[in-house]
Chain A
Amino acid sequence: MLKWLSFNALGTWLTTRFRGELVGQDELGNRYYRNKAVKGLNAADWRAERRWVVYPDGVEPEPTLVPPGWSGWLHKRFEHPPTVAPLQVKPWEKPALPNLTGTPYAYVPPGSERGRGQRDRATGDYEAWTP
């Protein structure tokens, strides 16, 4: 219980506890909630429908790990969650990648020595002679 609190703010916990309606859970254990909406309100109104995610216990919260279907629902691009209307995946779509920063797969700009182990040509370079 306290451990759960260390990852989630008290406000989120209280809102989830008293107003949240569980919509579904994805394969990573993220749980998705929405509040009981007052119908017909401007989206900017605080009483309008809000959607949020609660990450599983003991895992570093990582928003980019939210699957595309759920992400779309969270951002209200889709009206219905993937449990109701599964995401259509086109054959040419690549799987979503989480944020790779800090991992060996992180992006390095071309020319960086970390990328290919060698740097690009730069002003002042010369070739030394070796016998």
Chain B
Amino acid sequence: MPKLTVDGVEVEVPVGSTVLQACEAAGREIPIFCFHPRLNIAGSCRMCLVEMEKSPKPVASCAMPAADGMVIKTDTPLVHKARRGVLEFLLINHPLDCPICDQGGECDLQDITLFYGPDQSRYTENKRPVVDKYLGPLVSTHMTRCIHCTRCIRFLDEVAGVEELGAVQRGEHMEITNWIEASLTSELQGNIIDLCPVGALNSKPYEYKARTWELRKTESIDVSDAVGSNIRVDARGNEVMRIVPRLHEGINEEWLSDKGRFLYDGLKKRRLDRPMVRRDGQLQPADWRIALDAAAARLKGTAPERIGFVIGDLVDAETMVLVRELAARIGTPNVDCRQDGSRLGYGPRASWLFNSTIEGIERADAFLLVGTNPRHEAAVLNARIRKRSRQIPMPVGRIGAAGIDLTYEVQDLGAGVQTLSDLLAGGIGFAKELRAAQNPMVILGSGATARADGLAVLDLAMRVADEFGAISEGWNGFNVLHHAASRVAGLDLGLVPGQGGGLDVAGMLAGGVDVLFLIGADELDLSGLSPDVHVIYQGHHGDRSAPRADVILPGAAWTEKHGTYVNTEGRPQRAKLAVMPPGEAREDWKILRALSDVLGVTVKLDTLGAVRARLAELAPFLATPDVIVPAAWERAAGPGDLGFDRAPFVSPITEYYQTNAIARASGVMAECTKLRLAEHSIKATGTHG
């Protein structure tokens, strides 16, 4: 390990560190623009210059490997002069936009100029004009502000895996461009907005909407997929102005998928803001008393086994505790949290978790993807797999729809169950590669489990994991990738029919119930539902289910309540209330609590604390936020002879930007969808060869 002296302090840093890291280890702050710890080194901005003994010129510390015996000085007149000079050059062509720039207040160039920069400009000539580029509906550009750090290019190339930005010309004439005017196609493109150290790349939906210092920042959790990315919800007044990622090494590092970042404008559209009751065939506004009475009257007048509860994809664990308690008090066994028809939820907990954890991806050395398209189901997690595939040569096999670009190399093994059993029997070449791996990883998506033979596929996949050494001391390579934020909490709380012979979603929809209680469940096909079924809908958006409802109980969206979400790894995390629910909408667990009173089966949970205590009782492994309690490996009992379905596995996500009620209400997401469809049709007509 090299030992260096930084400003008279001796530090020892790991082999392969840079001088910049050594300076940071010594407690020195070095201003940087182009360096980013998660991207390759570019060394293009020269902001990080430091003085090194025996070197005639200052050196760029971010690009200089630390070596034994270096003597670095970061606080000498030479260094100060170098910094001032670099900044003066950068500012030559940087416009004086700060008062109207969206980056103002969180701009690296502003901050660094304040601390290290010259106090005045000696430049009187014209500044360089640059044409703004069109990058699609999410990222807006102000290219005169660009300082050519190339972070955006490097991010798209390295992390997102799409080579869509580049630089043309050199020196002062350098421009960041996408060659052909078209929108970016990555699901992670929003991150270049955060990466850009100046205001050259901004969020288009947020453009000129607020200043950073007006925003109230609330820590929360992303619910657009089951990864549970940590986010910060920035609100002004009672409106969510933007969503940005927070750092969590175990989950999203510092990235966020575009759906999670940009769906928030859906929070302002199609909101259910007052209770409604159907009268004379029409849904009409009512007050809470009337709506709760109407719901309770129907629930009371129906035999318990003719009542069904379905839980949607955005529901928090607290609400599910209340559903569970309420259903138990009413006495109905028909509760299901798997509206996509998934078969998971029976047997050991390890059979529905992402057991190796997301961080564990970086220890894996072979992947088998079964019935999943991680790029759309969990974009941030897909970036981790790509990151791993750049670290070591790594075989990735896929069983399911072929030809979908996952941003890393994939071998298509086959389409359905047959291939999986062939693999188990060793009849496929990939079996050898999988067996050779130290830590192989099997990722089972809902395309493989949300079908009639889901349990048999699950069993097969678990046997594959066992067979190929995915389960060993300190390594559990069997993973289930969910795409619904509420799913794992629901399964952990046992919200599946089964014991007592309850009906699952399909059974309920096929006429098994007379009263259907939907809690935020919108991904259901209600068209076949008999008109006599009374539908109670509790949720926040007038999406697919609300028009069919007979009673609407307006609930809160995830930014409007304190809630616990459990991600696909089984990691409980808390989202906090950022704004108040609109109109008369209430937090969901409180609605169910009030309903239980009207029904005369009071659930005695009166505070959020009490609900969470009950949650910890029901599912002890969800008690501590941000702690994963690993599930012991145990194969689910054989499902008997269910028989396999020969149909290929299909990923449940057909339209990435439209997977939940909030995204479907969002105008930004609708525009993205339109663009994506347009692009597909261009490709389909063959102009791309």
Contacts and interface: CB of A to CB of B under 8 A. Distances in A.
Interface of A: 123-131
B541 interface: yes
Contacts of B270: 127-129
Nearest to A123: B237
Contacts of A126: 239, 267-269, 271, 273, 582
A128 B270 CA distance: 5
Contact of A129 (B237, B239, B267, B272): B272
A127 B239 contact: no
Contacts of A127: 268-271
B422 to A, nearest CB: 50
Given A124-B239, A124-B579, 19 more contacts: A123-B236, A123-B238, A124-B238, A126-B239, A126-B267, A126-B268, A126-B269, A126-B271, A126-B582, A127-B268, A127-B270, A127-B271, A128-B270, A129-B273, A130-B542, A131-B276, A131-B282, A131-B283, A131-B542
B547 interface: yes
Contacts, number: 42
10 contacts: A123-B238, A127-B268, A127-B271, A128-B272, A128-B274, A129-B271, A130-B542, A131-B276, A131-B282, A131-B547
B638 interface: no
Give me the 10 closest cross-chain CB pairs, A-B, nearest first.
Answer: A129-B542, A124-B238, A131-B283, A123-B237, A126-B268, A129-B270, A124-B237, A124-B239, A128-B273, A127-B269
Nearest to B214: A123
A125 B542 contact: no
A126 B274 CA distance: 13
A125 B239 CA distance: 7
Interface in B271-322: 271-274, 276, 282-283
B583 interface: yes
A127 B273 CA distance: 9
Nearest to A128: B273
Contacts of A131: 276, 282-283, 542, 546-547
Nearest to B540: A129
A126 B542 CA distance: 13
A32 to B, nearest CB: 51
Most chain B CB neighbours (cut-off 10 Å) among A125, A129, A130, A131: A129
Nearest to B549: A131
Contacts of A124: 237-239, 579
Contacts of B271: 126-129
Contacts of B583: 128
Contacts of B267: 126
Nearest to A124: B238
Contacts of B236: 123
A13 to B, nearest CB: 57
Contacts of A130: 542
A20 B237 CA distance: 63
A128 to B, nearest CB: 5
A129 to B, nearest CB: 3
A124 B546 CA distance: 23
A113 to B, nearest CB: 18
B245 to A, nearest CB: 23
A21 B269 CA distance: 71
B147 to A, nearest CB: 32
Nearest to A126: B268
B229 to A, nearest CB: 25
Contacts of B542: 129-131
